[in-house]
Amino acid sequence: MTAEPLFTALARFEAFRQVPAAALQASLPLWQAAQLKSGRMMWKQGRPADALAVVVSGSLDVMVNGTRIRHVKAPALVGESALFITGSRRDASLSAAEPTVVMLLPSAGLRELRAQASPVYAAILDHALISETRSIQELYRQIAQVRQGNFAAPPTREPDRLLTRLWQRLRPPPEPDASGRAPLGELLALQPVLAAQPEVCAPLAAAFTARHFRSGEVLAREGDEDTRAFVLAEGRVDALRVIEERGSALLVGRFERGAIIGAQALIEGGLRPATLVATTDVWVYHIDQAGHRGLPPAVRTPWLETILAVLTAQCQAASEALQTTVAAFSTQHEEAMPSLIMQKPVRADGSVGFGHPADSLVSVPPKRRR
């Protein structure tokens, strides 16, 4: 593929539409064109992730352990998240479902774009962040709809809450002890990307605000519009997702000192996918979307790379949690596979449903008006 068709192919992809033409043109020597025949394997599960790809025409089948879980049609960007994480391996195989043309960017090319501070690199990073955020939201939605009583935490009874609130009004809260609160710069340096660039930790830390929460307090509530992300300085925090109308909750995450929590809120905002509850007295540092967007480019890029690493790990953990949850209802039926668990098939008589234990899936109730 010559330079002009290559430029046209990349320019029509949504992620690159805001990239200046000159920057996209300058990146062309780093890309490689490949034509795949129908059935040809492009990447194999378990192999090192050494390139990302833009699907220019045709389509790809995404397969995990030999089972097709997704179909990707052109134009699309695939494999970008893994390329940012050192040592990553493919978590799925990709093969051409029909004659397909792809543009490949090797990991060395991505590093070159970063060294140049190219807008193409920024566009790929932004796309990877949005992709991981949406994957986490979808996984959380599926986890919440698959009931698994062993993980369900019954809600506190209303009389208990009323007594707690009354006691808190009568008793002045103690002054929080900040002596155990680790400096934010020290916590940020625990992240591999930021540890390699210590000069950005101080200006990044300046964009955060410290806050104390008592045990049992909610940092952020599921369904609320809230764009804060947190760095946990002291204590423990649980992430819970409502799974039943009576208020039972599923534990979807547990965080300790140094963890970055709720980072997906900085990327797309929207409604919180889970409630964050302090299980001990905690200190956190938080930043909102406005502060995040106001970071200078030299600080924002490594911070976004750090968020991507956190989201990738969170997505993997959520995927494993879904697999565990679904296992309680697994059968030999194809429709019970994790990737298809929410797609109820139509029976021969025209009714809809599984006809096996997965029928116990429930919907998340709508948020009550306050």
Rounded to two decimals, the pTM is 0.75
Please report the DSSP string for 233-272 in residue order. Answer: EES-EEEEEE-STT--EEEEEEE-TT-EE-THHHHH-SB-
Strands 32-36 and 282-287 come out as: unpaired
Q: Comparing C-alpha atoms, which of 232, 347, 325 is closest to residue 285? A: 232
Q: In CATH terms, is domain 3-116 a member of 2.60.120.10?
A: yes
Predicted local confidence at residue 7, as pLDDT: 84
Predicted local confidence at residue 58, as pLDDT: 94
- Using CA atoms, how far residue 333 sits from 78, 340, 341, 343, in Å, is 29, 11, 10, 13
Predicted local confidence at residue 149, as pLDDT: 42
Determine the Cα–Cα distance for residues 9 and 207; give it in Å rounded to an integer. 39
For 2, residues 6+ apart whose C-beta sits below 8 A from its C-beta are none
Other Cβ atoms closer than 10 A to 7: 18
Q: What is the pLDDT along the chain (370 residues), one digit of tens a residue?
A: 555 677 888 888 888 988 999 999 999 999 999 999 999 999 999 999 999 999 999 999 999 888 888 899 988 889 888 888 878 888 889 999 999 999 999 999 999 999 999 999 999 999 999 988 888 888 877 776 665 443 434 344 443 454 445 444 555 556 666 666 889 999 999 998 999 999 999 999 999 999 999 999 999 998 889 999 999 999 999 988 776 655 567 777 889 999 999 998 898 888 888 889 999 999 999 999 999 999 999 999 999 999 999 998 888 877 777 776 666 555 444 443 333 222 223 333 333 322 222 222 222 233 444 4
Looking at the chain, the domain(s) classified CATH 2.60.120.10 span 3-116, 135-157+178-321
Second CATH level (architecture) for the domain 135-157+178-321: Sandwich (2.60)
Which residue is listed with tokens 């008793």? 171
Predicted local confidence at residue 326, as pLDDT: 64
The answer to whether residues 11 and 22 touch, using CB atoms and an 8 Å cutoff, is no
Determine the Cα–Cα distance for residues 104 and 1; give it in Å rounded to an integer. 12
Predicted local confidence at residue 177, as pLDDT: 66
CA dihedral 137, 41, 60, 57 (to 10 degrees): 130
Predicted local confidence at residue 98, as pLDDT: 96
Three-state secondary structure call for residue 193: helix
Please report which helix (H) or strand (E) contains residue 212, including its range. strand 209-213
Q: Comparing C-alpha atoms, which of 81, 138, 98, 148 is closest to residue 313? A: 81
For 187, residues 6+ apart whose C-beta sits below 8 A from its C-beta are 231, 233, 257, 258, 285
The answer to whether residues 251 and 228 touch, using CB atoms and an 8 Å cutoff, is no
DSSP 356: S
